Structure 1
Amino acid sequence: MSSSPPRRTALDALHRSLGATMTDFAGWDMPLRYGSERDEHTAVRTRAGLFDLSHMGEITVTGPEAAALLDHALVGDMGSVKPGRARYTMICAADGGILDDLIVYRLHETEYMVVANASNARTVVDALTERAGGFDAVVRDDSDTVALLAVQGPAAPGILAQLTEADLDGLKYYAGLPGTVAGVAALIARTGYTGEDGFELFVAPADAEKLWQALTEAGAPAGLVPCGLSCRDTLRLEAGMPLYGHELSTSLTPFDAGLGRVVKFDKSGDFVGRAALSESASRAAENPPRVLVGLVAEGRRVPRAGYSVVADGKVIGEITSGAPSPTLGKPIAMAYVDAAHSAPGTAGVAVDIRGSHEPFEVVALPFYKRQK
């Protein structure tokens, strides 16, 4: 059976002209790196990086009962989000398993934009469409009509300020406002997945290349570089941010993942998964599930997803994400471990790396937190 060729973003030709190493990611041909992923990572931590994130899914929900639909379909309280603001939330199955983690922007009183992970965009569209029955609201998949660029890093505000008259100083974290950037109509959002300050710019695909070039030019004196998915992964890992398919999955509830705070039982009306999530919350309180922790290597060997975490000769957990940390200069990982071994500083914890038990230190997440 032949699989369909990967999809390409509006910036595909530009990435190739910059010599990017391309990779298939969730059915999209995406830039993995342009040169050194370590250099790209360091640029975002110290200066700025420019990302093409057009593979993400954008789903518009409109109508008089858009808020009520999202309150029913998602675990968060979407009706309380003010226009111009955004919220991190999740969509769960009836059994409480996580279908995806999302950022939802309330654009207007009766219009929301749901941003889903590329690998789950179709699942989220289908679930929202199915759950929309009985609500005076329309679910529309706008993924093909939206390109997404992100400029991230301490120099990002200064770079973007050269290209827009929008009030960036007044734009809070997890807020978005319509504006013009380099003559291009955009939704300017102060969000990101790197642990740094920065912006995500939602634009029409036809405008993506013009905006990329303008940002590249404006950012050159500040040391901005194009960045691929590889450094995005190490940046989010250092920042302790979960990645769907690694720290989050359908086999885990938000409470299993230590993210029960996103579930709002006190919102009005019923929501999909409520009964199962209530049980999961009770179970977690009585018998704590495995806890997501940070692990820092004492040696040089890198742990990878799926490797076992051991203590006293027994398996006590599993690595969900692991990589060398350019900022710490050591291999790091996130792992779910038994609660008894989850306290920072817990002694005797190791990772089974191809038969060798390599010592690791248990630390609190995140590994890296920017100075504000």
Structure 2
Amino acid sequence: MVQRFRVAPGSVTAVPVFGGDRFDIVDQYGRQPAELTVLAADPRAVADAPPDTAATVLRSLIPGSDENGYAAQRILSLLAGHRVDQQEAVATRLFGHHSPAGSRATFTVDADAVVLVAAPASPMHPHSDDPNPPSEVRVAVYRADPGRPATPELPPPLAEPLLDRRIDAETAASYEVREGQFIQIIDVAGRQCSDFLAFDARGLADGREYGLDATTTRTIGGAAYPRPGLFGKFFDARARPLVEVVRDTVGRHDTFALACTAKYYADLGYLGHVNCTDNFNGALARFGVDRRQGWPALNLFYNTAFDAAHQLISDEPWSRAGDYVLFRASADLVCASSACPDDIDPANGWVPTDIHVRVYDSSRRFSVAVGHRLTPDSEPVLTKSTAFARRTGALTTDFTEYNGYWLPNSYANHGPHDEYWACRERVAVMDLSALRKFEVLGPDAEALLQATLTRDIRRLSRGQVVYSAMCSESGGVVDDCTVLRLGDNNFRFIGGDPHGGVWLRTQAERLGLHQVWIKDSTDQMHNLAIQGPASRAVLDGLIWTPPGQPALRDLGWFRFLTGRLDGPDGAPLLVSRTGYTGELGYEVWVHPGDAETLWDRLWDAGRPHGLTPLGLEALEMVRIEAGLVAGGHEFDDQTDPFEAGIGFTVPLKTKTDDFVGRAALVERKAHPQRTLVGLRLDSNETTAQGDCVHLGRTQVGVVTSATRSPLLGASIALCRIAVQHSEPGTRVEIGKLDGHLKRIPATVTTIPFYDPDKTRPRS
């Protein structure tokens, strides 16, 4: 039996081990030190782990009332229980500045112990001479006795629980929760459904049942079930909120079907089968709740959907061991949770298991987040706020989850159209910290990028930025990206897909390039885009550059500089003359610790120029007008760069070196099937991504992105269309409803719609 644990940068993970076990500590991405501290009655409990350094991470832990502070308190309690003074804690130092990715240290366990594994983290500045962003460490424990620990490991409590209750398989339980308290429902072993009921406790006291109402909730929120964010509340039939979804590490649930009933099993021939409805009836009887033949519930982790024939289908849940949903009670509640007994179909992976419920005090504070898994076997990573969140959060509550970060959708007292015009006519600032940054370092760095990107990276000079595609062997676009060359062996890869780093590491291993490190620096550099005709004027007085670097006003298109904010002693930063709007613009990159300082100084300098914040809605308008492509819209791994409208990133004639997908792209370019064009609609009606494009009855294309252009006063769209019908001026129809019941006439046009010669960003 193998158990795996993740140690995030700057954190400590406690792992219980027992005599006979073996464990590995792995430097997942290389160049990341680790610290091992053993807590045990027997000082020789773990062989070959003599302490040789101060336990720097342990010594820096600070307890507190938030989630991180509570985690620190748990570790400090372990130290105290073993009579270890925090400031005297010592550790075994592992790995170092030159350790290869995947470096491994193996230890055998001779007696029961708790091992504390820490990953020290130091900040990385945007133009460090030797960038080495901190990265995670993994621990794999090989159990000598699979029965220890006897039960699956639950995730650590988020805070001190008020209620910590196991709901055994095939049962249900009721419990009371006060307004403002938090309810965490955990799938203990994975792939186990848990129906959730909640009633207004004051209503029950008056003899009235006001419970969760899925139809009301779907109508108000416009989604199949609430998710963390602006539309995260679950309502009763009075349209009053009962609970709010704070966190969800799964993102796949059901509000359409009833909790399982006796009739369901009987109709399938399983007479007398235990069921959630009867379990709920028994659990809620003490509160005077009337019995029902079937309970409408929020069916957590139940994987349902409606297919193209409008049939309700179900399959195994997406949840893994330890996945959870965290609610906040909007009123005093009577709740009930089940561990569903369904063992006759895939609803519980065929084997019903336990559910665990924890309740936390209302004084606690937890971040709002959804969970993302980078790879199928990785742990969920929760949505983060950017370093500018306190400043943007003071201007809007309309945030949306974007690639693992919360970004503003639009701003109060502005709105998308005002933000749009500010970008086109004056200057706008947007938070683009969700872009994924990877440092590609080492003697094999250039070779790796040359072999994986479509652009000729060997031609890239220091201080230059290039836009490129990254393709699969079949020619599909894995991601688009910009690459900065900071030195002979130092590159910065900036893309939209968090999987980009995994892809690069996989290719490095395949190609046998061992002297390259791919380190995620996303959390070490957050960035603002300052875009619009006045962007140069706003930044010119803020950015100091040393000798040998161009002044801001002299910086060329697709070039970058390294400098300081307000003078040689200011915050270090990197400025690139790039953007995603079709306007003159810049991106400014700083360490998160300097983000608020940058924001404040930018607003001071931008106020005379009418600086306005810009959210994702307005960004969508400007990028479509400018004909700029987006992942999941114009391209995916089934679409090649020529079809996606970025064929200029594939210089097959001048780049003679082989790269991933080259052979397929040679073939695809010689025999094109589809291409990207613009559509200008005849009417003011709008289209949307996925709408079919027709000539008569035949579908010839699909809309990839669409907007109403304020500048053009027309509805426009980007469309992937058969090359035979891509000539500008071709008349087509956009299919709405079922594609035939309604058609919107449109004309094929060239793209970009706006500033086709790119005179504005070049200016």
Q: TM-score range by the shorter chain?
A: over 0.9
Deviation at 1:296, TM superposition (A): 1.3
**Contact 1:146 1:205 (C-alpha < 8 Å) held by counterparts:** yes
Q: Secondary structure at the match of 2:457?
A: coil
**Which residue pairs with 1:26 in the alignment?**
403
> Whole-Å Cα distance in 2 between the matches of residues 262 and 164 of structure 1?
31
Q: Could you tell me which of 708, 732, 735 is aligned with 1:352?
A: 735
**Which residue pairs with 2:383 in the alignment?**
6
Report the AA paired with residue 663 of structure 2: A
Whose relative contact order is higher, 1 or 2, with alpha carbons under 8 Å and at least 6 apart?
Answer: 1
**Which residue pairs with 1:129 in the alignment?**
505
**Which residue pairs with 2:720 in the alignment?**
336
**Which residue pairs with 2:754 in the alignment?**
368
**Contact 1:174 1:191 (C-alpha < 8 Å) held by counterparts:** yes
**Which residue pairs with 1:203 in the alignment?**
590
Q: Secondary structure at the match of 1:95?
A: coil
**Contact 2:437 2:521 (C-alpha < 8 Å) held by counterparts:** yes
Report the AA paired with residue 665 of structure 2: L
TM-score normalised by length of structure 1: 0.94
CA RMSD in angstroms, aligned pairs only: 1.5
**Contact 2:396 2:408 (C-alpha < 8 Å) held by counterparts:** no
**Which residue pairs with 2:609 in the alignment?**
222
> Whole-Å Cα distance in 1 between the matches of residues 624 and 597 of structure 2?
31
Unaligned runs of 5+ in 1: none
**Contact 2:479 2:631 (C-alpha < 8 Å) held by counterparts:** yes
> Whole-Å Cα distance in 1 between the matches of residues 676 and 428 of structure 2?
28
Deviation at 1:261, TM superposition (A): 2.8
> Whole-Å Cα distance in 2 between the matches of residues 342 and 271 of structure 1?
29
Q: Indicate yes or no: 2:327 matched with 1:327.
A: no
Q: Secondary structure at the match of 2:409?
A: strand
> Whole-Å Cα distance in 2 between the matches of residues 116 and 235 of structure 1?
19
Q: Indicate yes or no: 2:536 matched with 1:157.
A: yes
Deviation at 1:312, TM superposition (A): 2.5
Deviation at 1:89, TM superposition (A): 0.5
Deviation at 1:268, TM superposition (A): 5.1
Report the AA paired with residue 389 of structure 2: D
Cα-to-partner distance string for 1:244-269 (whole Å, 9 max, x where unaligned): 11001101111332433322444354
> Whole-Å Cα distance in 2 between the matches of residues 271 and 291 of structure 1?
23
Q: Could you tell me which of 193, 216, 229 is aligned with 2:580?
A: 193
Q: Secondary structure at the match of 1:195?
A: coil
**Which residue pairs with 2:446 in the alignment?**
67
Q: Secondary structure at the match of 1:276?
A: helix
**Contact 1:132 1:139 (C-alpha < 8 Å) held by counterparts:** no
**What does 1:1-372 correspond to in 2, within 5 Å?**
1=319, 2=324, 3-4=370-371, 5-34=382-411, 35-117=414-496, 120-121=497-498, 123-133=499-509, 134-135=512-513, 136-166=515-545, 167-182=551-566, 183-265=570-652, 266-267=654-655, 269-284=657-672, 289-347=673-731, 349-354=732-737, 355-369=741-755, 371=760, 372=763
> Whole-Å Cα distance in 1 between the matches of residues 651 and 714 of structure 2?
38
> Whole-Å Cα distance in 1 between the matches of residues 663 and 727 of structure 2?
30
Unaligned runs of 5+ in 2: 1-318, 325-369, 372-381, 546-550
**Which residue pairs with 2:266 in the alignment?**
none
Deviation at 1:176, TM superposition (A): 0.5
> Whole-Å Cα distance in 1 between the matches of residues 586 and 424 of structure 2?
14
TM-score normalised by length of structure 2: 0.47
Deviation at 1:278, TM superposition (A): 2.1
Report the AA paired with residue 145 of structure 1: Q
> Whole-Å Cα distance in 2 between the matches of residues 181 and 359 of structure 1?
52
Distance verdict in 2 for CA 1:90–1:32, change over 3 Å:
same
- Count of residue pairs the alignment pairs up: 364
Deviation at 1:73, TM superposition (A): 1.7
Deviation at 1:218, TM superposition (A): 0.6
Report the AA paired with residue 666 of structure 2: S
Deviation at 1:280, TM superposition (A): 1.7
Q: Secondary structure at the match of 2:486?
A: strand
Report the AA paired with residue 132 of structure 1: A
> Whole-Å Cα distance in 2 between the matches of residues 203 and 32 of structure 1?
22
Report the AA paired with residue 144 of structure 1: D
Report the AA paired with residue 130 of structure 1: T
Cα-to-partner distance string for 1:6-47 (whole Å, 9 max, x where unaligned): 221111222221124111112221100103101101100000
Deviation at 1:61, TM superposition (A): 0.8
Q: Secondary structure at the match of 1:160?
A: helix
> Whole-Å Cα distance in 1 between the matches of residues 728 and 397 of structure 2?
39
> Whole-Å Cα distance in 2 between the matches of residues 131 and 264 of structure 1?
21
**Contact 2:643 2:720 (C-alpha < 8 Å) held by counterparts:** no
**Contact 1:188 1:201 (C-alpha < 8 Å) held by counterparts:** yes
Deviation larger for 23-32 or 49-58: 23-32
**Contact 1:292 1:334 (C-alpha < 8 Å) held by counterparts:** yes
**Deviant stretches of 4+, over 3 Å:** 264-269
Cα-to-partner distance string for 1:133-161 (whole Å, 9 max, x where unaligned): 33222211111111011100000000001
Please identify the structure whose Cα radius of gyration is greater: 2
